[in-house]
Every structure is written in structure tokens, then in C-alpha cells.
């Protein structure tokens, strides 16, 4: 807290208060360290249902050619193609919703020495 500009007395008082209340500590860490505000969090049940539904839907996409009774060679190629298209679309949707450039790949430089 002293790095954030609080004097030593106030920083110690804050640290003592935060050490007594785990929920407050986790909230301060989420907001200060990660920029996550509680009011922006969604309902976890709703998010879980959406996530589970889309994972289930996504897992069936590569299986579609096998349900069409195609020859195994055609089904494998079509399955791989559908999976690649689904992954590309998913990546594009995530990039767009995060406000990133879809065409440009930005790698994290923190792994480079």
C-alpha cells in the first residue's frame, strides 16, 4: 500500500484490517492487482450454463461428418476442416469481443529474456 502512495501508518492499518477479513482482502486484490470490479462480474450459474452449452456444441462440430455416413477418409478430412474453421471463428470472436486486432498476433514479451 505504501507503493500506492499511502503513508506507513495508514498502510499498516489497512494491512491489519485486510488480514482480519478474507473477503475484503480478496476483493482488494481483485480490484487493485487484476482490475476486476465486483459489479462487473456476471451471475456464475448463468456463465456456467453458457460455457457448458457452448463447449458441448463445440465438441459435436468435428463429429458431424461421422453422423453423415461418409467414407472414413472424407469424414476425417471434413472433421479436421470443420474443427479448424470452428477454432478460427472462436478466436476471431474472442479477439473482437476483447477489442483486439483479429489479423495481428500480439505475443506476450514477458516470456522473452
Query: Is 64 in contact with 81 (CB distance < 8 Å)?
Result: no
| pLDDT at residue 111, as a whole number | 47
| pLDDT at residue 113, as a whole number | 43
| pLDDT at residue 38, as a whole number | 65
Query: Is 82 in contact with 88 (CB distance < 8 Å)?
Result: no
Please provide the size of the chain in residues.
113
Segment among 47-56, 71-80, 84-93, 103-112 with least mean pLDDT: 103-112
Rg, the chain, Cα only: 23
CA angle 9, 11, 14 (to 5 degrees): 110
Among the listed residues 92, 62, 65, 67, the one whose alpha carbon sits nearest the alpha carbon of residue 80: 62
CA angle 15, 16, 17 (to 5 degrees): 90
Query: Is 11 in contact with 2 (CB distance < 8 Å)?
Result: yes
Query: Mean pLDDT over residues 66-91, rounded?
Result: 94
State pLDDT tens for residues 27-63: 777 777 666 666 666 777 888 898 899 999 999 999 9
Give the DSSP H or E segment for 32. helix 22-34
Mean pLDDT of the chain: 80
Query: Mean pLDDT over residues 84-101, rounded?
Result: 85
Query: Mean pLDDT over residues 71-96, rounded?
Result: 92
Amino acid at each position: 500500500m505504501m507503493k500506492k502512495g499511502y503513508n506507513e501508518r495508514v498502510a499498516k492499518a489497512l494491512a491489519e484490517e485486510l488480514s482480519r477479513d478474507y473477503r475484503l482482502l480478496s476483493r482488494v486484490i481483485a480490484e487493485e492487482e487484476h482490475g476486476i470490479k465486483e459489479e462487473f462480474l456476471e451471475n456464475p450459474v448463468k456463465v456456467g450454463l453458457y460455457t457448458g452449452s457452448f463447449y458441448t456444441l463445440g465438441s459435436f462440430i468435428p463429429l458431424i461428418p461421422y453422423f453423415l455416413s461418409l467414407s472414413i477418409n472424407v469424414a476425417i478430412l471434413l472433421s479436421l476442416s470443420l474443427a479448424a474453421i470452428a477454432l478460427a471463428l472462436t478466436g476471431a470472436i474472442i479477439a473482437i469481443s476483447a477489442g483486439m486486432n483479429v489479423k495481428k498476433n500480439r505475443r506476450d514479451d514477458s516470456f522473452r529474456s
